[in-house]
Amino acid sequence: MSRVALVTGGTRGIGAAISMALRNAGYKVAATYAGNEEKAQAFRNETGISVHKWDVSDYDACGAGIAKVQDELGPIDILVNNAGITRDAMFHKMTPQQWHEVINTNLTGLFNMTHHVWQGMRDRSFGRVINISSINGQKGQMGQANYSAAKAGDLGFTKALAQEGAAKNITVNAICPGYIGTEMVLAVPEKVLNERIIPQIPVGRLGEPEEIARIAVFLASDDAGFITGSTISANGGQFFV
């Protein structure tokens, strides 16, 4: 029987690449999204992967959505917490709303999702939780106090939960992408990308979503059973922990 994987924010960008790579590796996959119907329906039509809309910052919506996915595909064995947003502003201009939106999605979203699948993973003595953090959670980034705090929090969550899951054969790991060529990054003005961001990346280019997806597929596999609580950086040499 194929294992079941759920990828939040799995309909575009890095998440879409992860959904497809897991499907191509033989998993039954469901992908979630927040509200971009056009992208989600196009993704479903192109890939045949089922898509589900709910907000990861809403605990009850996560519970209801996960129950529906489990009814369709079976118990979730692999959870990829990928959904994330930016609301960038220098701290002196950052509003409480910008702070809370990012914390609620990028950090509390991990609690909201993982809490609903954790007991099932414990009961079945197998699970993989893969959290998509960021280079900016490792090094901090000007204009992203909210995002850097949330993504650093994701790493603490990963390490704590890894210790709880270990005896039950549940691994919990984080991936910290550097700058990857998705809509989130391509929204940055081209001049800023070419003159300020790419020159900071020793390999001289943005990463590709598929380069992150291949790490997720490995972490999901039985081969990665001894890796837990780890943070895997994929940033083209931009930052070493």
Ligand X SMILES: NC(=O)c1ccc[n+]([C@@H]2O[C@H](COP(=O)([O-])OP(=O)(O)OC[C@H]3O[C@@H](n4cnc5c(N)ncnc54)[C@H](OP(=O)(O)O)[C@@H]3O)[C@@H](O)[C@H]2O)c1
Q: How far is the CB of 96 from ligand X (least distance, A)?
A: 17
Q: Which is nearer to ligand X, 8 or 98 (CB)?
A: 8
Q: How far is the CB of 208 from ligand X (least distance, A)?
A: 10
Q: Which is nearer to ligand X, 12 or 28 (CB)?
A: 12
- Tokens at 148, concatenated: 């850097």
Contacts of 184 (CB under 8 A, 6+ apart): 13, 84, 86
Q: How far is the CB of 154 from ligand X (least distance, A)?
A: 9
Q: Which is nearer to ligand X, 82 or 171 (CB)?
A: 82
Q: Which of 27, 33, 59, 147 is catalytic?
A: 147
Q: Which is nearer to ligand X, 185 or 224 (CB)?
A: 185
Q: Could you please report the per-residue DSSP string of the chain?
A: ---EEEETTTTSHHHHHHHHHHHHTT-EEEEEESS-HHHHHHHHHHH--EEEE--TT-HHHHHHHHHHHHHHH-S--EEEE---------GGG--HHHHHHHHHHHTHHHHHHHHHHHHHHHHHT-EEEEEE--HHHHH--TT-HHHHHHHHHHHHHHHHHHHHHGGGTEEEEEEEE-SBSSHHHHTS-HHHIIIIIGGGSTTSS-B-HHHHHHHHHHHHSGGGTT--S-EEEESTTS---
- 147 labelled catalytic: yes
Q: How far is the CB of 23 from ligand X (least distance, A)?
A: 16
Q: How far is the CB of 91 from ligand X (least distance, A)?
A: 19
| Tokens 């997720």 sit on residue | 216
Q: Which is nearer to ligand X, 39 or 44 (CB)?
A: 39
- Residues lying near ligand X in the complex (CB under 6 A) are found at 8-9, 11-15, 32-36, 39, 55-57, 82-85, 105, 132, 134, 177, 179-180, 182-185
Residues recognised as catalytic: 147
